[in-house]
Amino acid sequence: MTFLSRASAPLRSSLKASPISRIAAIRSNHIYSKPSAEKGDSLEPQYKYKFLKGNPTVGIVGCPFSGGQGRTGVDLAPNKLIQAGLVEQLTNLGWEVNYNSQEKYIDIPYNPIPPSSSTNQSAKVGNISQDDTKTIQRLPDEDIGKMKKPRLVSSVNKLVSKEVEDIAKKGWLPLTLGGDHSLAMGTVSGTKAKYPDACLIWVDAHADINTPNSTDSGNLHGCPVSFLLGLEGTDVAPFNEWLKPCLKPQEIVYIGLRDVDGPEKEILKKHGIKAFSMHHVDKYGIGKVVEMALDHVNPDRSKPIHLSYDVDALDPIVAPSTGTPVRGGLSFREGHYITEALAETGCLVSVDIMEVNPSLLDPNSVEKTVAAGLSLARASLGETLL
C-alpha cells in the first residue's frame, strides 16, 4: 500500500478527479446494443471480421494492472478509457459491446493494494470499492531470481488468459485495456487457446522479449514475448503452472521498435524473429512495412491476427503519458494506419491497448494519450476516415 501511494500521489494530485456520473451509466457484465438503425440502414462494422461469430461483438477486458513495471497509474487506464466514451464509440461503429467487471483483477492476494485506482474516484467501476478489497488477505511477493512481483503478474495473467479465451470462444473479439504490457502473457495465450494458428503483430517501441535471465530491471512488462515463445529461463514457477509456450518465432512480427536491449537483439537474431524498426518505417513507409509484416506472418491473409499495441510505439508527442516513452516514434497517422490496415484484412480476432498511464504528466498530455488509445481501438474495430 505504502510504496504504491508514495510513488503516485504527487503525480495524481495534479489531476482533477474525474467525474463518475458518466461511468455510473456504464454497468459491468452487461451487453450494450448498437444504436437502432435509423433511415432503414442497419449499422454494421465497416469490415467483416471473418473469424467472429454471430452479431459482431466486442468483449472488453479492462485490467487495472501495474505490477509488471515500477510506475503506478497505468492501472487507471481501463477506467479512463471507458469514462472517455469507449463503449459508446464502439457501439456507434456497429458493435455490440460486453464490458465485464474489473474486480477480479484487484482481489488477488499478491496485489499490495488498495491499488492506486481504489483511492481514485474514477476507478469505482462496476462493483469495485475499497470495502470490497479490505477482506482480501495480502501475501508477500518476493522477487524470484531477478523477476519482480512474479506471483502477482502470474496470477493476474492467468485470469486475463481465461477471460480472453472465454470471450474468443463465444465468437466475440476481446479488446483488452491494460494495464502494463506484461498482460500480453494472458491476452496472447488466451487468444491462442481459441485460435492456435493465430499470428501476433506487436506494435511497440520495445521488443518486450527479455527472459527472466536476461532482464536488467526484473520488470516483467519487458518479458511477455519470451514467455509466450517458451525461451530459455521461462519454464519457471509460478508461470509454468499455467502458461505453456504457445507462439512460434515465425508467428510474431514487430513494428515500431527503437529501444531494444543488447540481449534482446541477440534473441531476435538467434530465433530469426522479424522486426520492423523505426528505421524500416523511415525507409519503406508505413504502408509497405505493414504489407511486409503481414506477408511474413499471414501471407494469404487467412490466419487470425492478435494485435498487441503498446501506445509507446507512438511518438511521445502523440502519446506522452506512458511509462517508458522513447523519442523517434510513429506519427499519429502511421500509428493509426497500422490499425486501419489490420482491420481491413478482416483477420483481427483480439486487440490489446496497453501502457496508457493517466497519472503521468499534465492533464493535456493525459487527454492526448487517452484520446490516442481510444482512436486506436476504434480504428482496429473498423473506423475509417471516409
Shortest reach from residue 45's CB to Mn ion, in Å = 27
Please report, as residue ranges, which positions from 186 to 205 form the binding site for Mn ion (by CB under 5 A): 204
Give the pairing type, strands 199-203 and 57-62. unpaired
Can you tell me the distance from the alpha carbon of 361 to that of 372, in angstroms, rounded to the nearest whole number? Answer: 15
Q: How many residues of this chain interact with Mn ion, rule: CB under 5 A?
A: 4
- When the beta carbons of 181 and 280 are compared against Mn ion, the nearer one is 181
- When the beta carbons of 204 and 259 are compared against Mn ion, the nearer one is 204
Residue 181 binds Mn ion (CB under 5 A)? yes
Can you tell me the distance from the alpha carbon of 344 to that of 338, in angstroms, rounded to the nearest whole number? Answer: 10
Give CA separation, 138 vs 67, 106, 108, 319, in Å.
Answer: 15, 11, 8, 34
- When the beta carbons of 87 and 223 are compared against Mn ion, the nearer one is 223
Can you tell me the distance from the alpha carbon of 315 to that of 325, in angstroms, rounded to the nearest whole number? Answer: 8
Neighbouring CB atoms inside 10 A of 244's CB total 13
Shortest reach from residue 144's CB to Mn ion, in Å = 21
Point out which span in 181-189, 210-218, 330-338, 372-380 binds Mn ion (CB under 5 A).
181-189
Residue 310 binds Mn ion (CB under 5 A)? yes
Shortest reach from residue 243's CB to Mn ion, in Å = 18
Point out which span in 11-19, 57-65, 70-78, 308-316 binds Mn ion (CB under 5 A).
308-316
Shortest reach from residue 76's CB to Mn ion, in Å = 18
Shortest reach from residue 206's CB to Mn ion, in Å = 5
Cα-to-chain-centroid distance, residue 261: 21
- When the beta carbons of 172 and 202 are compared against Mn ion, the nearer one is 202
Indicate the helix (H) or strand (E) that contains 352: strand 348-354
Point out which span in 13-21, 98-106, 177-185, 290-298 binds Mn ion (CB under 5 A).
177-185
Neighbouring CB atoms inside 10 A of 327's CB total 11
Residue 208 binds Mn ion (CB under 5 A)? yes
Shortest reach from residue 312's CB to Mn ion, in Å = 6
Which residue(s) pair with 98 in the sheet?
31, 59
Q: Which residues contact 61 (CB under 8 A, 6 or more apart)?
A: 100, 160, 163, 164, 167, 174, 175, 176, 177, 187
List of residues contacting Mn ion (CB under 5 A): 181, 204, 208, 310
